[in-house]
Chain A
Amino acid sequence: MAKIVVHVMPKPEILDPQGKAVGAALPRLGFTGIAEVRQGKRFELTVDGEVTDEILDNARKAAETLLSNPVIEDVISVKVAREGGCGCGGHGHHHGGERKDLLA
């Protein structure tokens, strides 16, 4: 089972009330040094079998039509998660290729 990961973020010029609230909560909990928080969405689309070009193309269209609203959001990326990539549900032992840059 392969997975397509779609990232959606509020447009930079759109105020993000949820991100703002999270940003305000951080220093209260002692997490200092963070200037701003913006909150987006991550969708994991699980595919039966391989991710063909057609399926990936469909996922891109879905990202632009249903998963995001172009008036307020940008689709940041539509990527195939690598085989054996993070299907773990997030237990803190990330081994997916696409996450390495974020952890570095």
Chain B
Amino acid sequence: MKRPEPFEIFQPASIQEARELHIHHGPGGYFLAGGTDLAIAIKEKGLVPRYVVDLKRIGSLSGIRENADGSLVLGALATMREVEISRVISRRFPFLSQSAGEVGSIQIRNRATIGGNIANATPSADVVPALLVLEAQVTTSTQNGEKQVPLESFFLGPGKTVMERGDILTEIIIPPASANLRGEYIKFSPREMMDLAYVGVAVALLTDGDENVCREVRIALGAVSPVPMRARKAEAVLVNRVINEESAERAGEAAASECTPISDVRASAAYRRHMVRVNTKRAILNAVCGRPGNLPWVARRERRY
């Protein structure tokens, strides 16, 4: 495997310093978080940075905390593994922990960060659909100060976001959510582990009473459009209706009709579309079943429907 061409690594202690380094040294610089994308881009795809600014010495970028109002703040440098095993996340949003646990291996997840994953804007990123159904916001540090944007409007295309050169993603905010919110994430990929999603489906919903009348629902899809997307037509099918196999099937059909998958080495567009229909239905029905308590990491993966 190819070795990196020479470059310098700076380790600033603050966001301000990091931005200044980037301005001072000019083009050809890359911010480094976990490095699981950057190192591979350098080794495999021939990327040659002139210099790298390592963000890991900036303390304010790490950690996961719960605010008094119930919102959650995920530092951009929180690792995928931290998101996966965080007590507060696995208690409140187990499907988000699971989506983080679907990424790569434990070795990768100990390095890969949630901020890096979002900033790289891969259409198949596993945590993004789960964050979209939680209506997460993204905070970035820009030359005009801090900006907050909904995650949904953060992505512009594969590898492209609203961030400009020198901007730093600082945190992801999950707004307060009802304690009765139930959710699910299904990663559909040919292998159980160490693979990218053909299709990712996340669902979060609130129901009324024993009849499972849907009060609020959010559905998001990964890997089937240029950017991870909300499936609003599918959501509209479910609102104020009883959730059962039939309505879930119709929501699945709606989701399949509104996504815009491509054909590539992994799967054809038609197959992906079909799998959106199947897995959206599954995710909705799984979400309604709920998850039995705090399960260990592995048990979370089982498919119940």
**A and B bind:** no
Chain B residues engaging chain A, CB cutoff 8 angstroms: none
Chain A residues engaging chain B, CB cutoff 8 angstroms: none
